[in-house]
Amino acid sequence: MLLRATAIVPVLLCGLLAAPAPCAAEAPDLHAYWDQRCQPCHGHAGDFARRTLHVVDGRLVGRHHTDDIESFLRQHYLADVYVAPVTAMLMAQVATPPVFEAHCRGCHGNAAAFARESLALRDGVLVGRAGGRPVSEFLRRHGGLPPENVAPLVATLTRVLGEVTPARP
Residues 114 and 58 in one domain: no
DSSP structure class, residue 20: P
Residues 112 and 155 in one domain: yes
Give the number of domains in the chain: 2
The whole-number pLDDT of residue 68 equals 72
The whole-number pLDDT of residue 169 equals 38
Residues 74 and 116 in one domain: no
Report d(CA 120, CA 110) in Å as an integer. Answer: 16
Report d(CA 111, CA 157) in Å as an integer. Answer: 7
Q: Are 152 and 121 in contact (CB under 8 A)?
A: no
The whole-number pLDDT of residue 27 equals 58
Conformational region of residue 57, where left means phi above 0, alpha means psi within -120 to 50, and beta covers everything else: left
The whole-number pLDDT of residue 30 equals 92
Residues 77 and 105 in one domain: no
Look up the domain containing 49 and give its range.
Answer: 27-95
Q: Does residue 144 lie in a domain region? A: yes
Indicate the burial class of 35 (C-beta count within 10 angstroms; 0-12, 13-18, 19 or more).
Answer: middle
3-class secondary-structure state, position 108: helix
pTM: 0.77
The whole-number pLDDT of residue 118 equals 96
DSSP structure class, residue 134: B
Q: Does residue 47 lie in a domain region? A: yes
Q: How does the average pLDDT of the chain come out, rounded?
A: 81
Q: Enumerate residue ranges in the chain where pLDDT < 70.
A: 1-27, 65-67, 166-169
The whole-number pLDDT of residue 119 equals 97
Beta strands in 11-160 (DSSP E): 53-56, 59-62, 119-122, 125-128
